[in-house]
Amino acid sequence: MLRLHIWPVIGDKDPAVVRASDIQRIIARMAEVGLSTATMGHARKVVHVLFEWLVGNGILKENPCSRIKIPKVPTSPRRSLSPAEIGALMDAMKSSRWENAVDFLIKTGLRRGEALALKWRDIDEQGWINIERALSSHMEESRPKSMASCRRFRLPRAALEVLQHQKEQLRAERIVLPNEILEAHRALPGAHFIASEYVFPARTGQQVSPRTFSRTFALVCKKANLDTSVHELRHVFVSTFGPSMDLHALQTILGHSKATHTLDIYGHLIDGALDEAADAMDAAGEVLDRKVEEARRKTSTRPNISQIISQTKKAGSR
């Protein structure tokens, strides 16, 4: 980002002569090449931190980034895969050792880096998963991208079955948990076992590079004539499971900080759920109307206070 977008505009300038218009020009150039609002926002943040440091150290009096505006770039609808494409994808993945990883991404909606950083201890016996770290494309493990991305939710039965298949695959590859090494050697004396705490490790037991994972995925898809990417597996999850969830649950599982963000990205994939919600509201409204009408009838047939007093007087005069 610095080399491609920031340095060409301000890299050779004295910080004291950099103006807000220069920073705005960086953003404008990024918009011209079609970069997203989020990417432009990240560039602004990088420059802002740099100049904030200069201000804090008394080199500059003010930060030229303070009033920089980021243009809103309309996002194109996210694509999902058809059932036929999903079937073809899973058939193709059988030729690699990543079939279970791909299936798990489809059934959980996890990001690539979150799945590749996942450890067996992150999943408890009741099937709850804790997402606490993510692996970057530069092989750096850190907390997920936002506070909301650190999340806990219960895995569906289908995802737990995938994990069982993954355990069986790792045993076949003689990759076991560190605390299972001794037991494995007793069962197969002389055999070589690899200790790993990761759910989806490389054959060495170490974390696999996200780039390597995506490259392998792309090669398999190319051989199968499938035009898709690892990130689209998250869209498959939303289109498959999203319509059966309420918006808050979907937002939590995806790790979004705001429900509006979920709707902005995936609203078109869960239109069916919104239709069902409207039908449910129609049905609930009809029930409410019937109850109100029944209550009105009961109220209209029930004597009011003046009628009760009048009836009591008549009864007493008799």
pLDDT of residue 266: 61
pLDDT of residue 316: 60
pTM (predicted TM-score): 0.65
Where the chain has pLDDT below 50, the residues are none
pLDDT of residue 77: 57
Type of residue found at 210: P
pLDDT of residue 82: 85
pLDDT of residue 315: 60
pLDDT of residue 35: 80
The yes or no reply on domain 83-271 and CATH 1.20.120.420 is no
Where do the structural domains in the chain lie, given as residue ranges? Answer: 2-56, 83-271
pLDDT of residue 294: 77
